[in-house]
């Protein structure tokens, strides 16, 4: 009679993007059971993040190439009145994000920029990121602004993105939408 091997898999929480290290440092757990004449090895790896509709600030969201985490949101950025007038805005808001490209990503290079980001209010208005360069006092560090920053597999980029809006805006959502990630990714700003 052949001996039976019983392997119990323990539920071990694994996180694909913990905010520590880079996108290639995802943990795994391996269990090996050996009986006379037979060895069974099982490795548990992190399950992909499931997208959450209207995730909260601080929550990592999966995208096709890795994960994006909104780290903080400032509803009103201090900026001089002359700059606001030049852009036709009443005020600026900013979000600090961290974008990580999975170490296993082998598709087209990821080019990061502000153009993929918008904020929405409860009245259906959509506000785009401020589009300007020069002597503008943006919050720092600045997230790659013009889509010209190629991000390598296994690396992360962190920085602020600034949005121009009206003072009457009641912002509800931050949205990331790009060709590199076909589904919109949404965080709640409430």
Tokens encoding 176: 């990331």
Per-residue pLDDT of the chain (190 residues; tens, 9 = 90+): 444 433 333 333 333 333 333 333 444 456 566 667 776 665 544 444 444 557 888 889 888 899 999 999 998 888 777 887 777 778 888 999 999 999 999 888 888 889 899 999 888 889 988 877 666 778 888 888 877 788 889 999 999 999 988 878 888 999 998 877 777 888 998 7
Kindly report the pTM of this predicted structure. Answer: 0.68
Question: Domains in the chain and their CATH numbers?
Answer: 60-188 (2.60.40.1240)
Q: Return the SS3 of 33.
A: strand
| pLDDT attached to residue 104 | 92
User: Residue 140 to residues 22, 50, 88, 117, 144: CA-CA distances in angstroms?
Assistant: 21, 30, 22, 17, 11
């Amino acid at each position: 009679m052949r001996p039976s091997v019983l392997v119990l898999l323990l539920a071990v929480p694994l996180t694909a993007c913990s905010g520590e290290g880079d996108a290639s440092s995802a943990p795994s757990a391996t269990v090996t059971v050996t009986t006379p004449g037979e060895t069974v090895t099982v490795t548990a790896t992190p399950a992909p993040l499931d997208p959450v509709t209207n995730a909260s600030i601080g929550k990592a969201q999966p995208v096709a190439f890795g994960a994006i985490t909104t780290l903080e949101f400032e509803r009103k950025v201090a900026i001089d009145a002359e700059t606001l007038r030049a852009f036709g805005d009443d005020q600026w808001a900013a979000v600090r994000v961290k974008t990580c490209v999975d170490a296993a990503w082998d598709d087209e290079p990821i080019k990061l920029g502000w153009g993929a980001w918008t904020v929405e209010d409860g009245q259906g208005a959509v506000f785009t990121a401020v589009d300007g360069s020069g002597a503008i006092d943006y919050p720092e560090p600045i997230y790659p602004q013009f889509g010209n920053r190629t991000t390598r597999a296994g690396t992360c980029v962190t920085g602020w993105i600034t949005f121009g809006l009206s003072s009457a805006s009641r912002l509800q959502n931050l949205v990331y939408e790009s060709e590199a990630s076909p589904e919109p990714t949404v965080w709640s700003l409430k």
